[in-house]
Structure 1
Amino acid sequence: MKQRQPPVDPGDRITIDIDNQSHTGDGVGKVNGFTVFVPSALPGERVRVQVQKVKKTYAHARVEEWEETSPDRVDPFCPIFEQCGGCQLQHLAYPAQLRMKERQVADSFSRIAGMEGVKVLPVMGMEQPWHYRNKAQVPFSGRRGETVAGFYAAGTHEIVPYESCFIQQETNDQTIQAVIDIVRELDIPPYEERLHRGLLRHVMVRTGKRTKEVMVVLVTNGPRLPRKRELLTRLEKRVPGLASVVQNIHPRRSNTVLGKENRVLWGKGWIEDAIGPVRFRISPHSFFQVNPDQTVVLYEEVRRRAALTGGETVVDAYCGIGTIGLYLARDAGRVLGVESVEQAVEDARLNAELNGIIHASFEVGAAEEIMPRWADEGIRPDVIVVDPPRKGCAPELLEAAVRMEPERLIYVSCNPATLARDAAILADQGYVTNEVQPVDLFPHTHHVECVAAFTREEGSSIPDGS
């Protein structure tokens, strides 16, 4: 059967009605049933566009004129919103952002998992959805002999300079600007990605929301750092709350921000912060949620759905530096964590000690390898918590979790699509969920976090793993 030709070509100018929104925030319209993605357009709008790229089943277009606008459209606060790739939804009123994310989760369950009966609760948003991020990562580059720093333009590695970011804590912005000024004053050469030469690749700043401690991480293309003493003296004078300056050495051609080696240049090699009553030590490589206020909301949802009474055994898979497991430890009899990153496990053990928690232990290894071994050894937790990366849980982990026969499996997800996929796998093995609670950890972006509690369906049998 001959494939139908797309009804549009690159360069075409057409008028299109936007009737949906993609999971990345782009407007979605149809031309004779053919999908066209239109960045910055909103559902309910009619727009005049120029087609940019055409694929077999969809096209991308750019707005040239709005003929009708949505009542949910607002003026973005940020002057570089159109150029910067950090936020995608500042032009959409915040209540509408929350409704969009709720639809995104519901669509994932119906379209990917075929589970129409799962109730998606309204997204838990923020009263003040600005200046929430506790971590900033800013790349450096050279432009016509001048050092520039900022955020990458959407879909590129072109740097957009900035002075303040409306989703960053203000301390982060002030610290970043201080570093930029000092680097220029001391003439420290920026990294040139295309030529793989120069020195300063990124600066990362982490700020403790509760402690007000600040960490500055200078990512360099090799171990050399000229004028180090002057740089540290100026940072100490200009950055209130400075607790740590770390040089991260990253000599490889790579899109990752951090290399493997850290050298503490000033202060301690970490900062501390708290989630609810639990304190955490945070080092340069630590995974720590970037929105501390909403992290408490998220973890309280996990705690509520875990329904611990004080004597239960809890497994925390993909545990990172132990944040969820240690948050639940006050209500549990025993906590077992597993994480593949050795440094994170070391931090988790230190964090348990920091909080006087003696009934939590952590093991290094891939969760999909350790969990089957634990199941074979007869470990039978009452509650399993999984908080996987965006790709979701490995099938081996889900199979082992089911074999452990927990009363509840709490799934924390940063990707509704893989949550829905894994929910269908769990349902086939007898564990089902009736509702999902989305939490908005990342206002003005397309990302959404979710919590779902799975329990064993009555009458279902558990696979024996043979």
Structure 2
Amino acid sequence: MNTNRSGRGKSRRNTERQGQEMTSAGKSKNNAVRQDRGRDKAEKTGYVTGKSGNKEVLNVRRTEMRPEGEASFSAAKARAEQLEGRESRKTEKRRSGRGRSGSNRGGKDRPARDIAAELGLPVAKNDETVIDIIGMNHDGEGVGRAEGYTLFVAGALPGEKVRVKVLKTKKQYGYAKLLEIVEASKDRVSAPCPIYAQCGGCQLQHMSYEGQLHWKRQMVVDNLKRIGKLNVAGENVGNEVRAHQDVDNGDADSSHPQVDNLGEGTETVHSSGDKAVHEWMNVPNESAGITVLPTLGMDEPWRYRNKAQVPMGEMEGGLIGGFYAKGSHRIVDMERCLIQHEHNDEVVERVKEIGRRVGIRAYNEETGRGLLRHVVVKKAFRTGEMMLVLVTNGDSIPEKDEWIRGIREQLPQVTSICQNVNTKKTNVIFGDVTRVLWGSEVIYDYIGDVKFAISARSFYQVNPVQTEVLYGKTVEYAGLTGKETVIDAYCGIGTISLFLAQHAEHVYGVEIVKEAIEDAKKNAELNGITNATFETGPSEDVIPQWKEQGITPDVIVVDPPRKGCDPRLLETILEMRPERVVYVSCNPSTLARDLRVLEDGGYRTTEVQPVDMFPHTVHVESVAVLVRDL
């Protein structure tokens, strides 16, 4: 369940990295198309449903926290029922003649037991069995084995013995629903959020925070070893088994994993669909290699998000808004989110109430009618200032003055009210036109000692507490003495560049998004920083031009989107040969891939520091430092 970045303010961050923050940390519509699950969830949960365009609406408005005794097991069951419901509907559709025509294409209409026997599988669809969970994949699903056959089980934790029902089988792996926890993990806890079973924003609330931090470090380690083929120091896991699945659990039937035996106790399952399930067993002790430090977590891992992006819909009572349900484009109406700052929740609720009173209609994706698409709220943790952005399908706002007056009276902490106009049929949140309806054009916040101006469309890291930790580690790894020339290859609005400029002789920042560079220059001026230069363009084009101008960096810092560094940028780094490279990553798999390229080109990765920027989700940030081999 997926979702942004490092204060970078760039469009590709706003699409790729906002998997953890786009549409309020819920699943985007693109993901919903790929894994459209659980349209019948309302019938299974007993909640009331409504419609808003082609978005199904689930009204689960509550005000009380879930009692401690109510285990998160219900969340796992609800999530598994989504997959079970999808498979049932596929079968019903084929039987009614609305599915594939012809004679049992691929044998899909044959009994599940016959198909399993033909493939030599130990289990068939709808079988119930008890399995041990040996690890978790990158989506947070438990990984178990039924007589050697891999099953993914939503909601199951490593170390648990569980009873499951098989939902779907493929040649090398399948999916199962969690029915009963026979033996619980020491890391299992009750999820405190009352809508954890429906919302798509968090994936790990049923796991202790200590367990989350350990798992995120191990995910980084496994990617470095498996994808990067890199040596990790001190990794002697003994009898402990871990599993990792790459990319996503796609449904392409052409993806049939191939099994490689890598030696006693170690097995990897590969597929043409870039799916991999990896287990590490009895890995020998390694006396040298990359040091992967324990994940840096938060003292208080709740209420950490400074920005809410809430999709709006309608029910009989008027406007609703919240998050997208797991694996769908169905809105979960909500009053509180336990990872949002409480002031953000308050602003969203007041906006919905005022909108209902003045008769504002939500945007309808099917008809293209209706006004309010999203409500975006930004909170500056250090200054307390707040910005409200109403994303509308058109210029005119009925009863605009009354709406603004109501917001000002009820929400004195809001210092800026803006309107963004987006009339396109798209799931992209913002349009091209933004205007100030009342108050300031920007709000101000600090990361460390650096002050930043945040506009309606500026990207700013959603967890300012951990951002300071992340940037502090970046500066430490850069090893600056005040005499170095530094290049920031994905500088965004200049957040890391301005941090580095306080400790370097000069910093050069490059970013492909023009608006981000304009913000970077303004932020440098705002802080009186004169030893930072910013230029617009692809880093792989601009940096060679700087080289021709005689600019020779001692350190290059990269903070790419989820897809990792452009290959040409890696080539440029190897050609310029700085003494150090600091790599800030939001994706362990592309981090491992790019570190392998740099190591093959003459660099040595010495240390990697995972940082938990998004507690209770499966996302993890990392900072790695590489030094040039002499």
Q: TM-score, normalised by structure 1?
A: 0.94
**1:331 deviation in Å?**
0.8
Are the equivalent residues in 2 in contact too, given 1:286–1:320 (CA < 8 A)?
Answer: no
Give 1:31's aligned residue. Answer: 146
Give 2:173's aligned residue. Answer: 58
Give 1:351's aligned residue. Answer: 523
Q: Whole-Å Cα distance in 1 between the matches of residues 371 and 570 of structure 2?
A: 44
1:318 aligns with 2:433: no
SS of 1:331 mapped into structure 2: coil
Are the equivalent residues in 2 in contact too, given 1:207–1:213 (CA < 8 A)?
Answer: yes
Q: Whole-Å Cα distance in 2 between the matches of residues 197 and 67 of structure 1?
A: 51
Aligned amino acid, residue 212 of structure 2: Q
1:158 aligns with 2:330: yes
Are the equivalent residues in 2 in contact too, given 1:109–1:118 (CA < 8 A)?
Answer: no
**1:56 deviation in Å?**
4.2
Change (3 A) 1:364 1:6: farther
SS of 1:198 mapped into structure 2: coil
* Root mean square deviation, CA, Å: 1.7
Q: Whole-Å Cα distance in 1 between the matches of residues 395 and 127 of structure 2?
A: 51
Task: Give structure 2 stretches of 5+ with no counterpart.
Answer: 1-117, 232-288
Q: Whole-Å Cα distance in 2 between the matches of residues 199 and 27 of structure 1?
A: 42
**1:4 deviation in Å?**
4.2
**1:108 deviation in Å?**
0.4
Give 1:111's aligned residue. Answer: 226
1:138 aligns with 2:253: no
Are the equivalent residues in 1 in contact too, given 2:313–2:320 (CA < 8 A)?
Answer: yes
1:201 aligns with 2:373: yes
Are the equivalent residues in 2 in contact too, given 1:124–1:438 (CA < 8 A)?
Answer: yes
Change (3 A) 1:80 1:373: same
Q: Whole-Å Cα distance in 2 between the matches of residues 6 and 267 of structure 1?
A: 65
Aligned amino acid, residue 532 of structure 2: A
1:440 aligns with 2:555: no
SS of 2:502 mapped into structure 1: helix
1:276 aligns with 2:430: no
Q: Whole-Å Cα distance in 1 between the matches of residues 385 and 149 of structure 2?
A: 52
Are the equivalent residues in 1 in contact too, given 2:606–2:627 (CA < 8 A)?
Answer: no
Are the equivalent residues in 2 in contact too, given 1:380–1:405 (CA < 8 A)?
Answer: no
SS of 1:454 mapped into structure 2: strand
Q: Whole-Å Cα distance in 2 between the matches of residues 287 and 404 of structure 1?
A: 30
Change (3 A) 1:56 1:199: farther
**1:50 deviation in Å?**
2.4
1:41 aligns with 2:156: yes
- 1:202-217 equivalences under 5 Å are 202-217=374-389
**1:129 deviation in Å?**
0.9
Are the equivalent residues in 1 in contact too, given 2:484–2:506 (CA < 8 A)?
Answer: yes
Aligned amino acid, residue 282 of structure 1: I
- If asked which structure has higher relative contact order (CA below 8 Å, sep 6+), I would say 2
Are the equivalent residues in 2 in contact too, given 1:375–1:400 (CA < 8 A)?
Answer: no
Aligned amino acid, residue 303 of structure 2: H
Give 2:127's aligned residue. Answer: 12
User: Please, which moves more after superposition, 433-442 or 260-269?
Assistant: 260-269
**1:38 deviation in Å?**
1.2
1:300 aligns with 2:415: no
1:243 aligns with 2:415: yes
Q: TM-score, normalised by structure 2?
A: 0.70
What is the percentage of aligned positions where both structures have the same residue? Answer: 53
Select which of 170, 174, 178 maps to 2:350: 178
Change (3 A) 1:35 1:255: farther
- 1:337-416 equivalences under 5 Å are 337-416=509-588
Are the equivalent residues in 1 in contact too, given 2:309–2:376 (CA < 8 A)?
Answer: yes
Are the equivalent residues in 2 in contact too, given 1:317–1:384 (CA < 8 A)?
Answer: yes
Are the equivalent residues in 1 in contact too, given 2:444–2:453 (CA < 8 A)?
Answer: yes
**1:9 deviation in Å?**
4.0
Give 1:91's aligned residue. Answer: 206
Select which of 428, 432, 438 maps to 1:260: 432
Are the equivalent residues in 2 in contact too, given 1:72–1:93 (CA < 8 A)?
Answer: yes
SS of 1:419 mapped into structure 2: helix
Give 1:123's aligned residue. Answer: 295
User: Please, which moves more after superposition, 284-293 or 108-117?
Assistant: 284-293
Aligned amino acid, residue 43 of structure 1: P
**1:240 deviation in Å?**
2.8
